[in-house]
Amino acid sequence: MRILVIGATGLLGAEIVKCLSADHEVIGASRKGPALTVDISDKASIAAMYRQAGALDAVICVAGAAKFAPFDALADEDFAFSLANKLMGQINVVRCAREAVQPGGSVTLTSGILAQHPMPGSAAVSVVNAGVDAFVRAAALELAGRLRVNAVSPGWVAETLQRMGRDPAEGVPAATVAQAFRKCVVEDITGQVVSAASTPQ
């Protein structure tokens, strides 16, 4: 399969590329290259990326940002940024994929555990993650037979916790999270939100 990984230079993206490259042709995209350049908050940038990528069998998106801050510190601009980037950006990854991905192919998005288990500071992030989950379930119904749409909901990634000076044992290794994305690509599932913690390595 030809698989496009958006956010390929990040921690999870690099692990996903490594996981899939042995059996598939993997193309990377990110804000700063080095292969394809894309800003998912800009729909025109997404469309241009797909034109450059050519025909695809699957797309994985691990790009997108949202603002984590105390509730009283979140301004209108912080919510707008979060919605335009991680939520609407990923929605547009799917909308633009309809012409780029082969019939029966898949798009896998990234939500997150803060949708189900919010914490202080996560108001903007939680609403965005929950929106991604809801979008995947609804879009899968309307795109049935044309495009499979799923999301992976990673918990805290062990390597991220380690970089923060926290106990990595409280998180899920990036390699395990990558297997959850692989599951969404290779298995005939759609409309699912896959928990990375429950996916065996």
For residue 198, what pLDDT is reported? Answer: 43
pLDDT interval class at 158 (50, 70, 90): low
Mean pLDDT value of segment 126-134? 97
Residues of the chain above pLDDT 70, percent: 97
Helix axes 43-53, 88-97, angle to 10 degrees: 40
pLDDT interval class at 175 (50, 70, 90): confident
User: Is the confidence at residue 121, as pLDDT, over 90?
Assistant: yes
Q: What share of the chain is helix, strand, coil (3-state, %, to 5)?
A: 45, 20, 30
Q: What does the alpha-carbon distance between residue 196 and residue 166 come to, in Å, rounded to a whole number?
A: 20
Exposed (0-12), middle (13-18) or buried (19+): which is 34, by Cβ within 10 Å?
exposed
Q: Is the dihedral of CA 185, 189, 193, 198 positive or negative?
A: negative
Q: What mean pLDDT, rounded, does the chain reach?
A: 92
In the chain, the domains with their CATH numbers are 2-198 (3.40.50.720)
Q: What does the alpha-carbon distance between residue 132 and residue 176 come to, in Å, rounded to a whole number?
A: 21
How do residues 72-97 score in pLDDT, each as one tens digit? 999 999 999 999 999 999 999 999 99
User: Is the confidence at residue 201, as pLDDT, over 60?
Assistant: no
User: Is the confidence at residue 5, as pLDDT, over 90?
Assistant: yes
Strand-pair partners of 29? 6, 36
Q: Return the closest-CA partner of residue 3 out of 61, 50, 60.
A: 60
How do residues 16-29 score in pLDDT, each as one tens digit? 999 999 999 999 99
